[in-house]
A and B are shown apart, each in its own frame.
Chain A
Amino acid sequence: MTTLTKAIRWPGRTTDGPARPGGVGSWPVVGGLVVIAIVFGSLNEQFLSAENLSNLALQLAATGTISLGIIMVLLLGEIDLSAGSVSGLCAAVLAIVHVRHGQSALLAVVVALALGAVIGLVHGLMFTQLRMPSFVVTLAGLIGWQGLLLYVLGRGGTINLPFDGAIAKLSDTWLPPWASWLIVVLIVGAVATSAVLNRRWRRRADLPLPALSRTVLRVAGLAVLLGAAVLVLSADRGVPLLLVIFGTLVVALDLVLRNTVFGQWIYAIGGNAEAARRAGIPVTRLRIVAFVLASTLAAFGGLLAASRLAAVNQSSGGSDTLLMAIAAAVIGGVSLFGGRGRPYAALLGILVIQSITNGMLLLNVDSSIRFMVTAVVLAAAVAIDSLSRRGSEQ
């Protein structure tokens, strides 16, 4: 009986990933985005304008990058509550090195990222060696690193970055149309090539092939999606460099997680750490690496936020940054229970949250209502996560 239903639910699929999520995947989110576009688009003609969508694209990158780091830790079934504070602190150090000490932007960026990595290492060691629960470690981090941020900023509390400096320029650079289209062609070309190669290798190995129509549809869908995005964004100022950076990070992390032994082991630990340990997987080392990656990505997110604001101040990385980043990951389909979800969740989830925020700002909705709506979306995402987990456990 159960095998029969399974056969119907999973008709002779072929494999392409180490960890096909047992949950509902990303379809609810995509559906949600369409609903958001229709609702806000019909309530306010500004919402779907090229200018607003460009702003939206700019708003995504910083919190999205932080969210990407949080996903690394969530995949292990752990949590990082310190990401917001770490992003603020590292941005502050960046500004201090660059502005107060007059060092080059590049050196400042390297120092900030290295600081992020060291912080992650501290978290990872406290978690694995002192056996502290990750949520306690990073809760201490949430408070402690914010304290350090206030301390290093000192009395003034704000450091402005030069508007024409390299760091501020990051978020004020727009790709010319030819460059955007070149990127689209390259991406679609790479995806299509890898699909063709995959089919050839599978045929050679005598393995069942995925339906050709599915593959074609996927590549065509990707081409249409990317093409539409470039068309819309080029109608305004062009594709923002910030979006390209964020997108590159998402794609790179996804490729690593799906195709390397490292990625496979991260999913394995998230699924069953004891089984992974018995299978000889270096669980402790990978946990530390995940925390290092999380904090480094948080630092990078802080850098992007500082670039957009052209300043670092006492509220950098504060208020709702952390919650947005965690919510984005979960809304995008990363399981809080570990082992399920992909980096694309950061992109999809942050799109949902930012569109809602952005749409309601356009409609002049009070922030009280905004918070409540975001909370409902987050609760719904977690509920779907919990239910699909229970469903897959039978």
Chain B
Amino acid sequence: MFAARGVSKRFGAVRALDAVDLDLSAGEVVALVGDNGAGKSTLIKVISGAVTADEGQLERDGVPVQINNPHQARSLGISTVYQDLALCENLNVIGNLFLGSERRRWSLLRKIEMERSARTLLSSLDVRIQDIAVPVAMLSGGQRQSVAIARALVGEPWLVILDEPTAALGVEQTAQVLDLIRRLRDRGLAVLVISHNLADVRAVSDRTVVLRLGRNAGEFRTAETSPEAIVAAITGAAA
């Protein structure tokens, strides 16, 4: 269980987050939706340590935790895939998977060990890349997104946060990435996905959390809710 309680964040005069609550649990995909400027990115930045909240608290299994920087988030088992993926296009898949956390003995790279773990990880996620030794620049958009997601798993996290993972993808590659997200859930991870695309949200999430103008504006079991109800919560038409 991970929870955000009454989280608020101001940027000058803008209330980006206003007493927002969020609950995440293992084996569940939560979709975070809302209009532009609703505060989605700010909320995940608070959870991943990129931004510190002004008020409110974060809890892990009911125990309050401090997350003041990305490093602390990672050591709490929280891993984030940002929208820009942050891949090094010139490095191969293995290099990107272990970027910054290369397996090493003294200062020497343990290439064989890394390649082995990379292959195991990718095949356990059913990610298909013909040749993991080519630079990531040679891969398709869906494959890159998959590499970025797989990288989030290298530190064996408990929670994976994905910011707009399908925004830049075509139909077929979107389906691949959604499959991958389901596999994360099947591994027992907690998953938080930001998406603009309600079709994707319906396809992959168990629960949908709506933000509007920095506040909680509804929470639905995705399968039992009509898209119209979610749209209404996003636009505020229901209120």
Q: What residues make up the interface of A, taking CB atoms closer than 8 Å to B?
A: 2-3, 6-7, 10, 12-16, 18-22, 201-202, 205-207, 259-262, 264, 267-268, 270-272, 274-276, 278-281, 338-340, 392-394
Contact = CB atoms under 8 A, between A and B. Distances in A.
Interface of B: 70-71, 82, 86-92, 94-95, 99-102, 104, 107-109, 111-113, 115-116, 119, 130-135, 137-138, 140
A135 B86 CA distance: 26
A393 B116 contact: no
Contacts of B99: 268, 275-276, 279, 281
Contacts of B113: 205
Contacts of A206: 116
A275 to B, nearest CB: 4
Contacts of B104: 261
A207 B115 contact: yes
B100 A22 contact: no
B108 A271 contact: no
A19 B112 contact: no
B90 A270 contact: yes
A6 B138 contact: yes
A165 B98 CA distance: 50
Contact of A264 (B82, B89, B109): B109
Given A20-B92, A278-B86, 12 more contacts: A6-B130, A13-B131, A16-B111, A16-B133, A205-B113, A206-B116, A207-B116, A272-B89, A338-B90, A392-B137, A393-B89, A394-B137
Please give me the 6 A-B residue pairs with the lowest Cβ-Cβ distance, nearest first: A279-B100, A271-B88, A15-B133, A339-B90, A271-B90, A275-B86
B86 A272 contact: yes
A22 B137 CA distance: 8
Contacts of B140: 2-3
26 contacts: A6-B130, A6-B134, A10-B138, A13-B133, A14-B133, A15-B92, A15-B94, A15-B115, A19-B91, A19-B135, A20-B133, A21-B135, A22-B135, A202-B112, A207-B116, A261-B107, A267-B91, A267-B95, A268-B91, A268-B95, A268-B100, A271-B90, A275-B86, A279-B99, A340-B90, A392-B89
Nearest to B99: A279
Contacts of B90: 19, 21-22, 267, 270-271, 338-340
B107 A262 contact: yes
Q: Which of A15, A268, A394 is the most central at the interface, judged by chain B CB atoms within 10 Å of its CB?
A: A15
Nearest to B82: A278
Contacts of B134: 6, 10, 13, 20, 22
B101 A279 contact: yes
Contacts of B87: 272, 275
Nearest to A6: B138
A12 B132 CA distance: 9
A7 B130 contact: yes
A268 B88 CA distance: 6
A270 B89 CA distance: 10
Contact of A15 (B100, B107, B132): B132
A262 B134 CA distance: 20
A338 B88 CA distance: 11
A100 B199 CA distance: 80
Given A18-B95, A19-B135, A259 B109 contact: yes
Contacts of A272: 86-89
A27 to B, nearest CB: 17
Q: Which of A12, A262, A267, A271 is the most central at the interface, judged by chain B CB atoms within 10 Å of its CB?
A: A271
Contacts of B88: 267-268, 271-272, 275-276, 339
Contacts of A271: 88-91
Nearest to B116: A205
B132 to A, nearest CB: 7
A262 B102 CA distance: 10
A279 B135 contact: no
Contacts of B107: 260-262
Contacts of A10: 130-131, 134, 138
A392 B132 CA distance: 15
Q: Which of A2, A275, A392 is the most central at the interface, judged by chain B CB atoms within 10 Å of its CB?
A: A275
Contacts of A20: 92, 133-135
A259 B108 CA distance: 6
Contacts of B101: 279-280
A206 B119 CA distance: 10
B96 to A, nearest CB: 8
Given A18-B109, A259-B109, A3 B130 contact: yes
A129 B201 CA distance: 45
Contacts of B86: 272, 274-275, 278-279
A187 to B, nearest CB: 20
Contacts of B138: 6, 10, 22, 392, 394
Contact of B91 (A13, A18, A274, A392): A18
